[in-house]
């Protein structure tokens, strides 16, 4: 595609800026002009460059993302990036292109960029071979106000508690505010399988299974009736 999207990232968290920049650098259609830690820096970049799109955090000190969004021209579009669901209505009231909840997966980011383009084409990456390892061997999750990198190979199973999940690793357990359905979408399907509404397991970590449960590290994890057919089909062909 010929058009290049000039964008800036505005977020007061350095790790969040770095993760988003890393994702965007894999997209051929996007140029990251600058990363900004607050609205003042973002204003300066808007005055210095022609910016098409802003990836904007909402909960920032001094000037919030919502206040900043109200002050810029409508020709510069916004994709909100935030950890807080409750601002979604306000974000869309400001005619935001999209509203992304952290942690933001690469696939979800591409959806938002394609929505911005509003064309019947798909944004491509700069090199599929270059990004394949990054997109298949780890994710970042938010826990204790930090973004934590988790290698897929370390995950034994994931357990759901309403809006929270526990990610059971080889040597520790990480708790994050996320739904099990959202985390399932970020996992490679060849290595993980949903066995119950409350459990996802890593297929390579299964030591034995029956019609009623799978076992990982001597922990029996139930297979529910609604998932049984697919689970047994998958495991019978591993």
What's the 3-state SS for 107-147?
HHHHHHHHHHHCCCCCCCECCHHHHHHHHHHEEEEEECCEE
Q: How confident is the model at residue 121 (pLDDT cuts 50, 70, 90)?
A: very low
Across 176-198, b (16+ Cβ under 10 Å) vs e yields bebebeebbebbeeebbbbbbeb
Question: In this predicted model, what pLDDT tens digit does every residue of 149-207 receive, in sequence order?
Answer: 888 999 999 999 978 999 999 989 999 988 898 888 888 888 999 999 999 999 999 99
Pairwise CA distance, residues 126 & 40, whole Å: 31
Inter-residue contact 201 to 189 (CB < 8 Å): no
Q: What length is written for the chain?
A: 238
> Cα separation of 63 and 125, whole Å?
33
Instruction: Catalogue the E-assigned strands of the chain.
Output: 5-10, 30-36, 53-56, 77-82, 98-101, 138-143, 146-151, 155-161, 164-169, 173-177, 192-196, 199-202, 208-209, 213-216, 219-222
24-70 pLDDT, tens digit each: 988 888 999 999 999 999 999 999 999 999 999 988 888 888 888 88
* Distances in whole angstroms, Cα of residue 61 to Cα of each of 30, 34, 204: 27, 19, 44
Does 21 or 148 have the greater pLDDT score?
A: 21
Q: How many CA atoms lie within 13 A of 125 on its CB side?
A: 18
- pLDDT by residue (tens digit) across 124-137? 445 433 333 334 47
Strand pairing report for 98-101 and 77-82: parallel
């Amino acid at each position: 595609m010929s058009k290049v999207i000039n964008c800036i990232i505005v977020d007061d968290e350095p790790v969040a800026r770095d993760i988003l920049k890393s994702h965007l650098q894999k997209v051929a259609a996007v140029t990251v002009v600058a990363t900004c830690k607050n609205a003042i820096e973002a204003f300066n970049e808007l005055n210095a460059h022609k910016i098409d799109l802003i990836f904007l955090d909402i909960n920032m000190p001094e000037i919030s993302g919502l206040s900043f969004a109200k002050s810029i021209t409508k020709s510069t579009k916004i994709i909100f990036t935030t950890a807080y669901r409750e601002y979604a209505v306000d974000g869309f009231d400001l005619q935001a292109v999209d509203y992304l909840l952290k942690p933001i997966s690469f696939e979800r980011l591409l959806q938002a960029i394609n929505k911005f383009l509003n064309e019947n084409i798909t944004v491509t990456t700069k090199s599929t071979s270059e990004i394949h390892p990054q997109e298949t061997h780890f994710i970042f999750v938010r826990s204790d106000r930090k973004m934590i990198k988790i290698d897929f190979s370390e995950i034994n199973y994931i357990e759901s508690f309403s809006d929270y999940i526990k990610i059971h690793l080889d040597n520790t357990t990480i708790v994050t505010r996320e739904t099990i359905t959202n985390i399932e979408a970020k996992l490679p399907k060849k290595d993980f399988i949903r066995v119950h509404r409350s459990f996802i397991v890593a297929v390579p970590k299964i030591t034995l299974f029956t019609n009623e449960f799978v076992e990982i590290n001597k922990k029996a994890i139930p297979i529910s009736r609604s998932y049984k057919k697919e689970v047994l089909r998958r495991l019978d062909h591993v």
